[in-house]
Chains A and B, each alone.
Chain A
Amino acid sequence: MSDTLPLGLDRSLIGAEFDSSTSEPVAAEDIRAYADALGEAHPSYLGPDPIAPPTFCVKFRGTRFHHTAIPREAFHGGFDAGKDIHFGVPIRPGDVIHTRNVLHDVYEKTGRSGSMVFVVARQTMTNQRGEMIAVIDSRFMLRPKERAE
């Protein structure tokens, strides 16, 4: 197995943490505003002591999206390719969310339009009791510059 990943990245970067952050306590109004924007009608999302819809967790993204070893210009022309979320306990008002982001994978695929590189960031979120809220794998698709032009 090569020690080098696409974009010339060293394989030892896989699993490396590039961001962590801790939120302010979640407000009930923030949960209701999120649910209301989606047109949610479920009373458990909208009442005085709401639980958050599962995807509410995506708002806690930390301060950095990707490892600094990946050059910023590599993301020009790229796009958000998708997400895979494993959910734990729901978020409730007063929860403080801790997020930890690591570089999870970098791989290349070749399609009809040429070569694409996928960068996967894994975000692990826990609450103030150490309970798992969610593990989110976010895939970002890049086109190596020399082939995109």
Chain B
Amino acid sequence: MSTDDVEIGHEIPRLEIVVTGDQVRRYAAAAHMPGQRFVSDEVARKEGLPGRILPGNMSMALLSRMLHDWLPQARIERLGVTFRGIVQPDQKIRCSGFVTDRRETDDGIELECDLILEQGGERRTTGLAVLRLGRGSSTRS
């Protein structure tokens, strides 16, 4: 499938994933996020949380991953997110999105997308992205 076929309303292939506690620990270390709430259930509970949580930045990064899984050659120009609720490891995460606008540029196209990260049937992170890519690029589906 080519990006020439991507129209407003096109659904981005979903990313469904279970992030392990070990992945969160490695992400927190790699992203220089030292908060113990990301690695320790005990510390997280003392802070009033149900257990350790994903950093908001990791939720944002998973939405970015979904976009690049779909359009590996795209350049993400803008990524904006609102953190609406906590996301926990070892539970299914579903990232989804759809194209809300498509603009022709001199050298390709620009797509605007709405993004959603859900867990337990609730929207935990929402966002938008602007992608730029050459005309005729291929997509994953």
Contacts and interface: CB of A to CB of B under 8 A. Distances in A.
A10 interface: no
A79 interface: yes
Contact of A87 (B32, B69, B78, B83): B78
A61 B83 CA distance: 18
Nearest to A58: B57
Interface string B25-41: 01101111100000000
B6 interface: no
B83 A53 contact: no
A59 B27 CA distance: 10
Contacts of A87: 75-79
Contacts of B77: 86-87
Interface in A56-75: 56, 58-61
A16 interface: no
Interface string B68-80: 1100100111111
Interface string A70-112: 0000000001111111110000000000000000000000000
Contacts of A58: 31, 57, 60-61
A83 B27 contact: no
Contact of B30 (A59, A60, A79, A80): A59
Interface in A24-69: 30, 33-34, 36-42, 53-56, 58-61
Given A40-B65, A87-B79, 17 more contacts: A33-B30, A34-B31, A38-B58, A38-B62, A39-B17, A39-B19, A39-B65, A40-B68, A42-B72, A53-B68, A54-B79, A56-B31, A58-B60, A82-B82, A86-B77, A87-B75, A87-B78
Interface of A: 30, 33-34, 36-42, 53-56, 58-61, 79-87
Interface of B: 17, 19, 23, 26-27, 29-33, 56-58, 60-62, 64-65, 68-69, 72, 75-83, 127
